Amino acid sequence: MSDIQGFESLAKILFQRTGIFMDTSEKSYSLMSNRMHKVLRKYSCNSYNEFIKLIETGNAVIMNEFLEVLTTNTTHFFRENEHFIFLKKNMPLVEEYLVKEKRNEIRVWCAAASTGEEPYTILMTILEYLSDKPKFTVKVTATDLNSQVLEKAKEGIYKAEITENVPADHILKYFEKNQKIPPECFQVKEKFRNMIEFNKFNLMNESYYFPHKFDIIFCRNVLIYFPHKIVEDTVVKLSNCLEKKGFLFIGHSEAMIGDKHKLKSVVPAVYQHPSEAPKS
């Protein structure tokens, strides 16, 4: 589709609502065309501008459908596994300061949950460490802008290909087959699904409010889509949600922008508030 003006208008709406920036390149034109094709056809629109007129009516359903179709959701279990190795290795430090604070709940925020592979991987990693420490519990808050992928995450149903990335003992412990799902699939056991609270959340919100700060925050492979100013503002808000000795994980292909956040690098793509940072 060669509707350049319409592309630029939709790209502007996308940026204002999500912080995701689409430049005026052939790659971006092609991406929007491929993603928007079914939506345009669904609403009998022959151009982007016709669809923009529908958005301008204030229909929240149409706006959400537009945002969701352009939200990239590529993920798999134990993606960038170095982070999970680091997390398990440094859980004793988390345990140590929880004991000092007389708190037994480990609080986690996965800020780009997508279809659930990442928050479930975080949960499995922590539970493996806690296997002989029953006095501790874990609560995972998993958020995403896309409500459709969150519904998939809540169901926790995945094709058998997950066995390529998930250890066999984890499959036995955390997943099951049952009559309610296709025979070629596994489902996260209900006990573990109930440990994660999935909610819609926009990182472009002016401020982030949660009832408590988090010991562990994963916000990976999202910042890469934001321009520098949005990255800087987002990291500051994330740092404000992080416990004093907590860990913030970003994607290995991403970079922290500016120094307003005051966080210090621990190992590649892992940050803490300035203090006694652990060795890798």
Tens of pLDDT, residue by residue over 96-118, are 999 999 999 999 999 999 899 99
Distances in Å between the Cα of 136 and the Cα atoms of 61, 100, 128, 217 are 41, 13, 12, 18
Q: Which residue has the tokens 């609403």?
A: 43
Q: What's the pLDDT score for residue 260?
A: 65
Lowest mean pLDDT among 31-40, 219-228, 252-261: 252-261
Residue 278's pLDDT is 52
- Checking if the pLDDT of 264 tops 60, the result is yes
- pLDDT at residue 190 tops 60: yes
**Residue 278 covered by a domain:** no
Residue 75 counted as domain residue: no
Tokens found for residue 116? 């659930």
| Structural domain includes residue 279 | no
What the block records as the tokens of 267 is 């190992």
Claim to verify: residue 127 and residue 177 sit in the same structural domain: yes
Number of CB atoms found within 10 A of residue 162's CB: 18
Domain that holds residue 115: 81-273
Q: Which of 45, 70, 95 is the last residue of a domain?
A: 70
| Cβ–Cβ under 8 Å, residues 234 and 258 | no
Quote the percentage of the chain above a pLDDT of 90. 48
Residue 52 sits in the same domain as residue 10: yes
Read off the CATH number of the domain in which 123 is found.
Answer: 3.40.50.150
Mean pLDDT of the chain: 88
Confidence of residue 72 (pLDDT cuts 50, 70, 90): low
Q: Identify the three-state secondary structure at position 217.
A: strand
Q: What is the pLDDT, as a whole number, of residue 138?
A: 95
- CATH code assigned at 56: 1.10.155.10
Q: Is residue 280 part of a domain?
A: no
Note the pLDDT of residue 28.
82
Structure tokens at 104: 């037994």
Number of domains in the chain: 2
Q: Does residue 226 share a domain with residue 100?
A: yes
User: Distances in Å between the alpha carbon of 126 and those of 13, 56, 94, 167?
Assistant: 38, 45, 11, 15
Q: Looking up tokens 């007389």, which residue turns up? A: 102
Give yes or no: residues 147 and 259 share one domain.
yes
Let me know whether 111 and 189 are in one domain.
Answer: yes
DSSP tag of 260: T
* Comparison of pLDDT for 14 and 240, the residue scoring more: 240
Highest-confidence segment of 9-18, 31-40, 83-92: 83-92
76 within some domain? no
Distance CA 151, CA 48 (A): 28
**178 and 45, same structural domain?**
no
Query: DSSP letter string over 149-180?
Result: HHHHHHHTEEEGGGGGTS-HHHHHHHEE--TT
Are 61 and 90 contained in the same domain?
A: no
Query: What is the C-alpha to C-alpha distance for residues 115 and 155, in angstroms, rounded to an integer?
Result: 9
Which pTM value belongs to this model? 0.80
pLDDT exceeds 70 at position 47: yes
Same domain, 53 and 140: no
Same domain, 118 and 175: yes
- Can you give the pLDDT at residue 1? 43
Residues 105 and 43 in one domain: no
Pairing of strands 270-272, 264-267: antiparallel
Judged by DSSP in three states, 31 sits in helix
pLDDT tens-digit readout, 191-240: 999 999 999 999 988 889 999 999 999 999 888 778 888 888 999 999 99
Query: How far is the C-alpha of 186 from the C-alpha of 35, rounded, in Å?
Result: 28
Q: Is the pLDDT of residue 277 over 60?
A: no
